[in-house]
Amino acid sequence: MRTTILAAAAFAAFAIGKPVPQASEVDTSDALPVLPVFSIGKQDLSKRKACEPQPLGAGPVSDPDDVRTFAKTPFFANAALSAATPKGYNLTFQNWNASNQAYGYLGYQLLDTYDTSVCAAKCNSIEDCLAFNIYFERDPTVDPNVYSCPNPPSTTNIKCVFWSGPIYKANANNYGQWRAGFQVAIAGSNGYVSNKIATPAGYADPAYLGNSAINALTDCNEGYTYMGLKIWTDSPFDVERCAQACTAQSVANLASPPADGSEAQTCQFFNTYQLVKNGNVVGQYCALYNTTWSASTATNYGSTSGQDKFTIQYSFAYSNITAPGLVQTGKKTGASL
């Protein structure tokens, strides 16, 4: 797909400010947001019948049948540690005792075996799926009731949960729950993220910005932090090339510093996303910055130009962990969408 002059001009209308002047520029034609918690596979309690049988899982049941033994069952750890990383995905955590509570819950599938390739194939078939979490879950064989069956025998389900945002150990904090006297527990939990959004080496885990992008803002000294925009229209979405462009821009700037003797600007933060024109993807955009911006500054939702509507999707922000700069919370230049 080719980028038209109209698309570039329309985007420029809502990209604020100019890049910091440099002698050369590479030509490459707070913190994470607070994430909502989604309940996984939760049913309407009011519609349940007392001690109603629940689906039996395909995983082994611990003996004795209690949470402590379940957590230490070697089968679960062995399955997680020996699981293959599917093509097109990166392993973000392994053999954890919790599942993810992240952004963009897309549902789950029960499996017959602990098979990451099945999960990956299913994720690939789901629109917007960019990550999955596979694990063993200790569940009750009947719906627990505090009066009749408070702590029934367990079954072990093998779950694959799908997400449209990044997952990593930091947001794998669902350790189970109590259902009457029965304790749900998790074991052998692995997380996989699509290579499209996998965290590049040297960067912190991304902030998922959804359908918005960081505004090009000035810092507290009224200096521009925006270093320019890179655009790709000829290949799949890939965060890694944004990181490479960020590094290349820094190398070029350091090699040819400003003639006025001011400090060369280096790229420490980037925001990448897809720009969509009238429902069709124009390409992957990558905005480069010399300092980190918080998710609260992601107020750019697109623009209109005549009959054309430009929107944003798959927006992620990455900060360099070696020299992120001060986290900026936002001071607008005065321009608007």
pLDDT (tens digit per residue) in 64-81? 999 999 999 999 999 999
| Burial tier of 93 (Cβ tally within 10 Å: 0-12, 13-18, 19+) | buried
Q: Where are the domains of the chain?
A: 5-32+205-319, 45-194
The chain-wide mean pLDDT, for the chain, equals 83
Q: Tell me which of 328 and 279 has the higher pLDDT.
A: 279
From 205, 174, 198, 207, select the one nearest 33 (Cα to Cα). Answer: 207
Q: What is the pLDDT of residue 37?
A: 38
SS3 291: coil
pTM: 0.67
Other beta carbons less than 10 A from residue 337's beta carbon: 14
Using pLDDT thresholds of 50, 70 and 90, give the confidence band for residue 30.
very low
> In the numeric block, which tokens belong to residue 56?
């039996």
* Residues 300-316, mean pLDDT to the nearest whole number: 94
What is the per-residue pLDDT across 232-275, written as a single tens digit (0 to 9) for each?
998 678 899 999 999 999 999 999 999 998 889 999 999 999 99
Q: What is the mean pLDDT of residues 84-98?
A: 96
- State CA 115 to chain mean position distance: 22
Q: Which neighbouring-strand residues pair with 221?
A: none
54-63, 165-174, 280-289, 319-328: least confidently modelled range = 319-328
Q: Where are the beta strands (DSSP E) in 248-307?
A: 269-277, 280-289, 303-305
Tell me the C-alpha to C-alpha distance, in Å, between residue 175 and each of 55, 183, 205, 274: 21, 10, 21, 34
pLDDT for 8 equals 43
Residue 153: cis peptide before it, omega within 30 degrees of 0: no
Instruction: Report pLDDT for 136.
Output: 99
Burial zone of 127 (CB within 10 Å; 0-12 exposed, 13-18 middle, 19+ buried): exposed
What confidence score (pLDDT) does residue 49 get? 67
Q: How distant, in Å, are the alpha carbons of 222, 266, 267 from that of 23?
A: 21, 13, 15
Segment (H or E) for 311: strand 308-319
Q: Is residue 331 predicted with pLDDT exceeding 90?
A: no
- Tokens 């918005």 appear where? 212
Bigger pLDDT: 329 or 299?
299
Distance CA 149, CA 153 (A): 10
Task: Tell me which residue of 149, 148, 144, 122 sits closest to 133, measured CA to CA.
Answer: 122
For residues 119 and 167, the model is more confident at 119
Give the pLDDT band (50/70/90) at residue 54.
very high
8 Å CB contact between 225 and 290: yes
Residue 44 burial (CB count, 10 A): 6
Give residue 128's pLDDT band: very low, low, confident or very high (50, 70, 90).
Answer: confident
Under 8 Å between Cβ of 208 and 165:
yes
Instruction: For residue 117, give the nearest of 103, 132, 129 by alpha carbon.
Output: 132
The token pair at 43 is 């049913």
**Can you tell me the distance from the alpha carbon of 285 to that of 27, in angstroms, rounded to the nearest whole number?**
14
Q: Is the pLDDT of residue 26 over 60?
A: no
The answer to whether residue 334 scores a pLDDT higher than 50 is no
What pLDDT, on a 0 to 100 scale, did the predictor assign at position 330? 55
Cβ pair 136, 156 in contact under 8 A: yes
* Mean pLDDT confidence for 11-36: 40
Let me know: does 188 contact 135? Beta carbons within 8 Å: yes
**C-alpha to C-alpha distance for 144 and 305, rounded to whole angstroms:** 57
Give the pLDDT band (50/70/90) at residue 10.
very low
| Residues in the chain, overall count | 337
User: Side chain identity at 233, as an amino acid letter?
Assistant: T
Token pair in block for residue 101: 């509570």
Answer whether residue 321 shows pLDDT above 60.
yes
Contact 166, 142 (CB under 8 A): no
pLDDT the model gives residue 210: 85
| Confidence tier at 202 by pLDDT (50, 70, 90) | very high
Enclosing H/E stretch for 213: none
- pLDDT at position 2 is 38
314 band by pLDDT with thresholds 50, 70 and 90 = confident
